[in-house]
Chains A and B, each alone.
Chain A
Amino acid sequence: MNLLHFFMGNHEQILELTLEHLWLVGLSTLLAVLIGIPLGILSAHWPVWNRPVLGTANIIQTIPSLALFGFLLPVPWLGDRADRLAILALTLYALLPIIRNTYTGIRDVDPAVIEAGRGMGLTGRQLLLQVELPLALSVILSGVRVAVVVSVGLATIAAAIGAGGLGEFIFRGLAMVNNQLILAGAIPAAVLALSADFGLGWLEKRLRPR
């Protein structure tokens, strides 16, 4: 009951931090999609790029998030504002699942379909845009889904460097040993993660080629 009262009493702040959280996750995911899909295509089409690209993304994934935030802090323009820094870090973490799934999705397209397309005189670009990407779309989307769900959780840590988001409640709650505060951050974050997972999962299923 107390918790409900707390939520009602602080709904404005909860909403504000939730929107901030969404902004961090949304923008970083968008950037990761814009960077990750081309990198995935690159490594699927030119095997030489496969190892360096996936290897780098893998290494980034192994850096503990707090440490990554710390490493980036002294970087000039980035360090000026905490949200820039948080967005960059989240983007880097989101890259791996997106690159990997783009790579897998394209490599898994039936070779007979590719051969027929090439034999019929589709240009490389037409083949990519009309055949490979549409057929890989559901696999790519499932990579984006993983990236978003992970990001929602990871973005709470961004509060540690003052980037805002639902992590604010959690860190404040931890400092004050106040469970209500912690839950005020954790519950909306969990709801965000679950709804993103559900929504993107639904989309993924609809786009799956038969």
Chain B
Amino acid sequence: MSAAHFAAPGPAISGMLGEHNLADMASERIVMEDMEKDLATDSVIEFRDVAYTLPNRQQLLSGLNLRVLRGETLVLLGRSGSGKTTTLKLINRLLTPSRGEVRVNGTPTADGDVICLRRSIGYVIQDVGLFPHFTVERNIGLVPRIEGWPAERIRRRVEELMKRVGLEANLAVRYPHQLSGGQRQRVGVARALAADPAILLMDEPFGALDALTRDQLQREFLSLQQGLNKTVVFVTHDLREALRLGSRIALMDAGRLVTVLPPEQFVRSRDSLAAAYVQAFMGGLDSVSNRGAS
């Protein structure tokens, strides 16, 4: 690969080395064909002209209009400070919009009971946030417990979930500090799934993991998602992760939504920012092959 390659505009790039890889990655995710038919009607989460401003008047998000469809994995992609996490937290009302409204299942989040809303949405964050004084078992069973499930049902549910996210049963009595990073993150996912919420919010859940563990968890996420069919909103700054996991990618920059595209179209996008992402990603691959050549 030559210097000319770097200078080429976005669409041309995808015709070269990366095309094959990226397409592979995109096809690895689950395509839900039924879903795409009623794209327009079946939105689970909807942002209507949403803005979020801090008390010191700093605007973190403005003019956001976005729909998340049932069963899809929408990836919010952007660099830090672009408003991805803010967008996510507006969904379970950890933040309240300064303007506009966010609807979950057709109801504005501002109207209903916030505790009810949050319990119906699974939430996974990068730092995991496992309760250090609870065992794995108690961490996973937390929401069912506060929802008043009988003990036996909780026990069965925890067992089932641990199997599902690939945790060995003997880890149930361990404390979070006795687990590896990957195991902790699995517990975080299991905990978010415990009460079987229809919506899952994931804020860079694999960001703190080493590359191999991340790869494995991404793969497991895909197969998990295939079985569960949750509506997922997934925040990341990693294009590779976005292409691999997303049904659609929402690119954000400086508090605004730039574009929303399926992965296949994202890699061909003429949008300058999207192209820059693709180019940076390809640049990484290139530098490896350049080294090999010299």
**Given A112-B125, A120-B123; A210-B115 close (CB under 8 Å):** no
Complex: how many Å from CA A210 to CA B116?
Answer: 31
Q: Report chain B residues within 8 Å CB of A120.
A: 118-119, 123, 142-143, 191-192
Inter-chain contact B125/A135, CB cutoff 8 Å: no
Q: Report chain A residues within 8 Å CB of B191.
A: 120
Interface-forming stretch among B51-59, B127-135, B237-245, B253-261? B127-135
Interface size class of chain A, counting residues whose CB lies under 8 Å from the partner chain: 20 to 34
B146 at the interface (CB under 8 A from A): yes
Distance in angstroms from A93 CB to nearest chain B CB is: 31
Interface-forming stretch among A25-33, A43-51, A121-129, A159-167? A121-129
Cross-interface CB contact of B116 among A112, A115, A121, A126, cutoff 8 Å: A121
From A118, which residue of chain B is reached at the shortest CB distance? Answer: B94
Number of A-B contacts (CB under 8 A): 62
Q: Report chain B residues within 8 Å CB of A134.
A: 133
Q: Report chain A residues within 8 Å CB of B177.
A: 210
Distance in angstroms from B180 CB to nearest chain A CB is: 15
Inter-chain contact A116/B125, CB cutoff 8 Å: yes
Interface size class of chain B, counting residues whose CB lies under 8 Å from the partner chain: 20 to 34
Inter-chain contact A115/B115, CB cutoff 8 Å: no
Complex: how many Å from CA A126 to CA B148?
Answer: 13
Cross-interface CB contact of B129 among A112, A121, A126, cutoff 8 Å: A112
Contacts of A55-103 to chain B: CB distance below 8 A: none
**Given A119-B92, A120-B191, A135-B132; A210-B125 close (CB under 8 Å):** no
Distance in angstroms from A140 CB to nearest chain B CB is: 14
Q: Report chain A residues within 8 Å CB of B129.
A: 110, 112-117
B221 at the interface (CB under 8 A from A): no
From B142, which residue of chain A is reached at the shortest CB distance? Answer: A120
Contacts of B171-198 to chain A: CB distance below 8 A: 175, 177, 188, 191-192
Complex: how many Å from CA A135 to CA B130?
Answer: 12
Contacts of A117-166 to chain B: CB distance below 8 A: 117-123, 126, 130-131, 134-135
1/0 per position for A157-183, CB-CB distance to B under 8 A?
000000000000000000000000000
Complex: how many Å from CA A120 to CA B127?
Answer: 15
Inter-chain contact B133/A122, CB cutoff 8 Å: no
Inter-chain contact A126/B146, CB cutoff 8 Å: yes
Q: Report chain B residues within 8 Å CB of A122.
A: 142, 146
From B139, which residue of chain A is reached at the shortest CB distance? Answer: A116
A9 at the interface (CB under 8 A from B): no
Cross-interface CB contact of A121 among B119, B125, B127, cutoff 8 Å: B119
**Given A116-B123, A116-B125; A123-B115 close (CB under 8 Å):** yes
Residues of B within 8 A of A (CB): 92, 94, 115-119, 121, 123, 125, 127-133, 142-143, 146, 175, 177, 188, 191-192, 201
Known pairs A115-B94, A120-B119, A210-B175; list 16 more (Cβ under 8 Å). A110-B129, A112-B125, A112-B127, A112-B129, A113-B129, A116-B129, A116-B188, A119-B92, A119-B121, A120-B118, A120-B123, A120-B142, A120-B192, A121-B116, A121-B143, A209-B133
Residues of A within 8 A of B (CB): 110, 112-123, 126, 130-131, 134-135, 209-210
Ordered nearest first, which 5 A-B pairs have the shortest CB separation? A116-B129, A121-B118, A112-B127, A121-B119, A119-B123
